[in-house]
Structure 1
Amino acid sequence: MILDILMTFGSARKNEDDCQFNGYLEDYLQLLDNREEHLQVLFQKVVEKYPNARICVGLRFAINKEVVSNQIIGYKDAFKLEGKALIRSL
């Protein structure tokens, strides 16, 4: 199940570097600042409907060179990056 996989990632709140935040959406709402009011409104609606909703923000991941197609030329330089250099943004 995808939730089980996502729950294995450690967040910056726990001094780990897999992602910026990994936990309940209601807790994440407390961390948003005023510049992100549109997200607060949207996420509050989600929390009202799904109180146990979780969110994973700024997930970092390593690229497995063996599974990337040779036809994707844009990824050739990605392997020069160290550690978990790429961040999946939503």
Structure 2
Amino acid sequence: MNTPAYPIEKCRSCPTQIIWAVTERGRDMPVDAEPAANGNVALSTNDKGQVVARIVKPHLAFGRKDLRLPHFVRCPQADRWRQR
């Protein structure tokens, strides 16, 4: 399976590479650039060219190798950036 290329940036708080995506509700969401075995975020591109993040339910994620983690899971400075 070919993984699409998304624009990658470096997190402003740690050395991790991230992809900025928009949630289905229109909120910005940093996502780790590298897929993870325990990932639950699927990325796609919408008709406006935006990267869209969608949370995948656990029973649908099994065996997928294209899922990523929200960057807030691993970033040591996540609380500094998180907005509610």
TM-score by length of 1: 0.24
TM-score by length of 2: 0.25
Greater fraction of residues in helix: 1
Structure possessing the higher radius of gyration over alpha carbons: 1
